[in-house]
Amino acid sequence: MLPCRAAVAAAPQVVPRMGMFYFGTGMNMRQFYPEGLGPDAALSRILKPLEAHRGKFTVLSGTQLEHGGGHDGAYPFSTSIAAGEKQSVSPDQLVAEWHGKQTRFPSLQFSVKRGTGFGSQALATISWNRQGVPLAAENDPKQIFDQLFRPNDAAQQAGQSVEFRQRQSVLDAVLSDAKQLGRQVSQADRRQLDQYFNSIREVEQSLRREIDWADRPKPEPSRTGMGEFEKAVSPEGNGDFLYDNYAKLMYDLIALAFQTDSTRVITYVVRTELAGGVYPEFGVSKGYHELTHHGNDPKNLEELAKVDTIYMGHWKYFLDRLSSINDGDGTLLDHTMLGFSSGMGIGHSKDTLPTVLSGGGGLGIRHQTHLRLKDDTPLASLWQTMIEKMGVEVDQPFQDSTGSIGEIVG
């Protein structure tokens, strides 16, 4: 991927935002797509919760993830890079390189599972920097709320200053050692050393940003109608965990982060591969992975559709929240693009993906409820569409993209 740059056009009158969302282990694709095409397409049972937002989303059938089709799907999801190959920069990080200069957090990574999950099929992140390093995700609503909005007290500020000095000291020592090593390595090893230097520079830039923002007050947004973040229980928490509460808190946090311009780009692994995805209150008899291997059994298909409908009910809650927040001449949903999909379709297929783009009408997205794309349209074409609507240009198509999706671009 060649370097990105800001679009030459004048600065937009509205602040654009984007989010990328991963639903691991696919969905019940036999009951997912709407019936018919265009704005008046009849929504399926699974998508019926979104009826109130007709005109604000488009189901994109025909998308494909060339190196997806199995439980390694999270690895190529955002970059089209096959599992086992060296990763490349993800779309959110391309956007963060530009928009992140104006916000406290260049990007935020959320997940139902903390960390990266790197080395396993159950990846917890879909964000990758330019060196192909996975960016860790946070899953605790309380920790996220504190990071975004809770001011540090005097003791925390003092401790933070000490931490900054220690980190800078470590970086100085590492950089000194690297420079000394640079005088000794062969030309063949210099490329690896250059990558090492780039990683050090990224850490330095991140530290400088933290220092620069440390003394700036955090925003204090209205939390009317939202849950109690201070009492939130993470997925690794105790028996009081309820996914319905958790899902709404996470979506509320994304809305608040966008509303306060704390960041303009977020990724969220809503459901990882394999384990998880079903919770006791869902009222089904098997785990999500087991249900996807339904063998066309009516009970399995019914329970799978029930679970998917629950997830779409939470997505509806998210769209409700964004629609309720005024933003410039529209709403936060009008100025935010949200793309979700998975790494597999029917069974372990790499096509027939559950791909949906929501929001962004104020950014030039023309929604059609159900749009049938050319067969095997790369998922990267959706990411390229979103990148470009964020006002960021790239010097070539993003990965295997065949170009932005012209049918939805105003």
In the chain, what are the domain boundaries?
4-150+229-408, 152-216
- DSSP secondary structure, 286-347, as one string: S-HHHHHS-TT-HHHHHHHHHHHHHHHHHHHHHHHHHHTSEETTEETTTTEEEEEE-S-SST
User: Angle at the Cα of 16 (from 11 to 378), degrees rounded to 5?
Assistant: 115
- DSSP secondary structure, 335-352, as one string: TEEEEEE-S-SSTT-SBS
- Give the pLDDT confidence score for residue 10 in this predicted structure: 41
Tell me the CATH number for domain 4-150+229-408. Answer: 3.40.720.10
Question: What strands lie across the sheet with 336-341, from one edge to the other?
Answer: 108-111, 265-271, 17-23, 336-341, 356-359, 57-64, 369-378
Phi, psi angles (nearest 5°) of residue 161: -60, -40
User: Which among 348, 409, 398 is positioned nearest to 373, based on CA atoms?
Assistant: 409
Strands 265-271 and 108-111: parallel
Exposed, middle or buried by CB within 10 Å (0-12, 13-18, 19+), for 220?
exposed
The predicted model scores a pTM of 0.89
329, 300 contact by CB (below 8 A): no
- Give the pLDDT confidence score for residue 8 in this predicted structure: 36
User: Under DSSP, is residue 175 helix (H, G, I), strand (E, B) or coil?
Assistant: helix
Q: What span, in angstroms and rounded, lies between the C-alpha atoms of 220 and 334?
A: 23
Instruction: Fill in the DSSP letter of residue 128.
Output: B
Exposed, middle or buried by CB within 10 Å (0-12, 13-18, 19+), for 338?
buried
User: Angle at the Cα of 372 (from 366 to 377), degrees rounded to 5?
Assistant: 100
In tens digits, what is the pLDDT along the chain, a chain of 410 residues?
444 454 434 445 789 999 999 999 999 999 999 999 999 999 999 999 999 999 999 999 999 999 998 899 999 999 999 999 999 999 999 999 999 999 999 999 999 999 999 988 899 999 999 999 999 999 999 999 999 998 877 777 666 677 777 777 666 776 776 666 666 666 666 666 666 667 777 777 777 777 778 888 999 998 888 888 988 988 987 768 999 999 999 999 999 999 999 999 999 999 999 878 999 999 999 999 999 888 888 999 999 999 999 999 999 999 999 999 999 999 999 999 999 999 999 888 999 999 999 999 999 999 999 999 999 999 999 999 999 999 998 889 999 999 999 999 96
Conformational region of residue 274, where left means phi above 0, alpha means psi within -120 to 50, and beta covers everything else: left
Residue located via tokens 């220092």: 211
User: Which among 57, 59, 77 is positioned nearest to 67, based on CA atoms?
Assistant: 77
Paired tokens of 409? 């671009």
Q: How many CB atoms lie within 10 A of CB 66?
A: 17
Paired tokens of 168? 């800078």
Strands 17-23 and 336-341: parallel
Q: What span, in angstroms and rounded, lies between the C-alpha atoms of 2 and 198?
A: 16
Q: What span, in angstroms and rounded, lies between the C-alpha atoms of 57 and 59?
A: 7
Q: What span, in angstroms and rounded, lies between the C-alpha atoms of 49 and 397?
A: 34
Instruction: Fill in the DSSP letter of residue 137.
Output: B
- DSSP secondary structure, 92-114, as one string: HHHHHHHHGGGSSSS-EEEESSS
Instruction: Fill in the DSSP letter of residue 391.
Output: T
For the chain, what's the residue count?
410
Q: What span, in angstroms and rounded, lies between the C-alpha atoms of 98 and 4?
A: 8
User: Under DSSP, is residue 117 helix (H, G, I), strand (E, B) or coil?
Assistant: coil
Paired tokens of 303? 């329970």
